[in-house]
Structure 1
Amino acid sequence: MRMIAVAGAGLLLALTGCGNEASAGGSLKGNVYLSTAVTEDGKPKQLVPNSRVRLTFTDDGRLIADAGCNSMQSPVDTGGGQLTMDDEIAQTAMGCDPQRHAQDGWLIKVLQSEPTWKLEADRLTVTSGGTTISLTDRRTAEPDLALDGTKWSLETVISGETASHQAGSEKVWITLNGDRVTGSTGCNELQGKVARGTGTLTFGEIATTRRACPGDAGKLEQTLLTNLKGDVSYEIDSNRLKLRAGSNGLDFTG
C-alpha cells in the first residue's frame, strides 16, 4: 500500500505501554474494535452507509484506524486514559468518494485531539469534546467468517506498495469448498483444485470458460488468475480474506 506522510498529530496510535492503562479499564494492545454508535453533542451521528470506524491496536505499538476508505497509522501513548499521537501520521492514498474522504478527515481530527478512552469488558469508548465513539471488540461484533462456503468478493488488488480497487472488481468472486475453488473472473467462470496447509493455500491449475474479455475485464481476469497460482498465505479477519504471495495479493470481503 502506498503510504503518504500527513502533518499534524499522528493518528493511529502505537501502544507504548507507558502510563497506567489499568486506570482506563485494561490494555488495548492486540485488540481490534469496531464502532457501534457515534454521537455528537448528545445526538446520533450517521456515518457513511456501509462504513464504520475500525481501530486496531497492534502488539508492536501502533494504532491502525480507518473509517471506510483509507487507513491511518502512528505511534500512540495510551497512558492516563488518553490517546496521544505523534506529530505525523501515515495514510494510504486510495481514491475515496467525497463522503468517505470527509469521514476520514473527521476521524483524524478526533484522534488528533488527544481523546479519552475507557474500556469495560469488550466495549471501548473514545471521547473528544462532544464526540463519543462507542466500539465493541471485533471478535464479538464480527466473528471470523468460515473459509469454506463463503462467497468472497474481490475488494482490493495489492501490488508491491500499491493497493487499488480496479474497475469491475465487484463482479469477481471465489468460493472454496474442501479441495475445490469456484468463482468468476468478472468475465468468465472459473474452477480448480486447492490444497490446504497451516495458514496457506496451494492453488492448482485454474480452468475458465472461454468468453473473450477485452480491455479492463481481460486485465482484471489475468490479475486474478496470476494471484490464484501456487502457494499463497491466507488470513481471515472478520469478513475479510487476505491472500498474499510475497508483496502481491488480493483482498476479498465475505
Structure 2
Amino acid sequence: MRMIAVAGAGLLLGLAGCGNESGAGVGTGASLQGRTYLSTAVTEDGKPKQLVPNSRIRLTFSDDGRLIAEAGCNSMQSAVDTGDGKLSLDKQLAMTAMGCDEPRHRQDGWLSKILTSDPAWKLEGDRLTLTSGGTTISLTDRETAEPDLALDGTKWSLETVVSNDTASHQVGSEKAWITINGERVTGSTGCNELQGKVAQATGKLTFGEIATTRRACPGHAGKLEQTLLSGLKGDVSYQIDSNRLKLRSGANGLDFTAAR
C-alpha cells in the first residue's frame, strides 16, 4: 500500500528490525508477537474517551517485529521494541493514503502520537493495557473479542480496492457486496445484481463467469462495477480476519467487511 507522511509522526520507508520483549509484560513468557488486539475502552485523565462511531483501535504485532495499528481509517506501522515494558517505535510512522473524514483523520493523528510516546504496556491473559500520560487504552485479543466469521453465508460489503501499492475507497463501494454459499456467489456491483459459480479450496477461491443484470452504470458506478468484477475472476487467495475478508490476485485485491 502507498505510504504517506503523517503529521506528528513523519514518514518511515524502512521497517527492518525485530521486537524485543525482554522484561516486558506480566508473568514469564508474556508475548505480544503474532497477536492482534482490539480496543474495549479508552480513558483520558480517568474519564471515558469516546472513539468515532463504528471505529475501533486495532493493534497487530507481526511475527517480523512490526506494529501495525489502525484507528478507523488508515493503517500505520513501524518496527517495534517491546522491551522493559515499553512500546518503543520509530518516531516516524508509515501510513496508508486513504482519504478519511475529519473525525477519523484526527483520531488517526491522536493514536499515532500515543504510539510514538513510548507507552507502557501490560499483558494479563488475553487483555492488553497501554498507558501514556493520562491516557489508558484497554484491549482484548482479537481471537477472543471477534472470532473469525464464516466465509459462507456472510454478506461481505466492499471496503477497499488494492492496486499494486495503493489502497483506495472508491465512490459508492459501500453499495457493493457479495455472499458466498457453497458453489454459488451472489451480490451487487453497487449498480447491477451479480451471480455466478465459485469453487472453494483451503485459502483459495476460483470464480467462474459472473453474470450481471443489464442496468446502465455511468461514471463512478461503472468504474466500480468493472473493478469488482475484475477482482472476482479466476483464482484468488482469500483470508478471513475477524469480520474482514481479503481477496488477492497478485498485487491487486479487494477488501470486504461483514455487513452490519
Q: TM-score, normalised by structure 2?
A: 0.93
1:123 aligns with 2:127: yes
- Secondary structure of the equivalent of 2:31? coil
Paired AA for residue 56 in structure 2: R
In structure 2, distance between residues paired with 1:120 and 1:10: 33
In structure 2, distance between residues paired with 1:18 and 1:121: 16
**Residue aligning to 2:22:** 19
Shift in Å, 1:18: 4.8
**Residue aligning to 1:253:** 257
Paired AA for residue 128 in structure 2: L
- Secondary structure of the equivalent of 2:114? helix
Match of 1:236 among 240, 243, 246: 240
Alignment of 1:175-190 (within 5 A): 175-190=179-194
1:209 aligns with 2:244: no
Shift in Å, 1:197: 1.5
Unaligned runs of 5+ in 2: none
The count of corresponding residues between Structure 1 and Structure 2 is: 254
In structure 1, distance between residues paired with 2:9 and 2:245: 33
Q: Percent identity?
A: 76
Cα 1:22–1:53 shift into 2, 3 Å: closer
Q: Do the aligned residues in 2 keep the contact of 1:181 with 1:192 (CA within 8 Å)?
A: yes
Shift in Å, 1:17: 2.3
Match of 1:144 among 144, 148, 152: 148
Q: Do the aligned residues in 1 keep the contact of 2:21 with 2:31 (CA within 8 Å)?
A: no
**Residue aligning to 2:3:** 3
Shift in Å, 1:40: 0.3
**Residue aligning to 2:118:** 114
Q: List per-residue Cα deviations over 1:96-118 (Å, max 9, x = no partner).
A: 11111110111011111111000
Cα RMSD over matched residues? 1.9
**Residue aligning to 1:161:** 165
Q: Do the aligned residues in 2 keep the contact of 1:83 with 1:114 (CA within 8 Å)?
A: yes
Paired AA for residue 4 in structure 1: I
Paired AA for residue 65 in structure 2: G
Match of 1:196 among 197, 200, 206: 200
Q: Do the aligned residues in 1 keep the contact of 2:86 with 2:120 (CA within 8 Å)?
A: yes
Alignment of 1:214-225 (within 5 A): 214-225=218-229
Paired AA for residue 226 in structure 1: S
In structure 1, distance between residues paired with 2:214 and 2:160: 25
Cα 1:10–1:86 shift into 2, 3 Å: farther
Q: Do the aligned residues in 2 keep the contact of 1:200 with 1:231 (CA within 8 Å)?
A: yes
In structure 2, distance between residues paired with 1:169 and 1:85: 34
Runs of 4+ in 1 over 3 A off after TM superposition: 5-15, 22-25
- Secondary structure of the equivalent of 1:51? coil
**Residue aligning to 2:66:** 62
Shift in Å, 1:5: 4.1
Q: List per-residue Cα deviations over 1:13-70 (Å, max 9, x = no partner).
A: 9752252235577100000000000000000000000001100000000000010011
In structure 1, distance between residues paired with 2:164 and 2:140: 32
Match of 2:178 among 171, 174, 184: 174
**Residue aligning to 2:90:** 86
Q: List per-residue Cα deviations over 1:200-245 (Å, max 9, x = no partner).
A: 0000000111111111111111111111000000000000000000
In structure 1, distance between residues paired with 2:170 and 2:148: 25
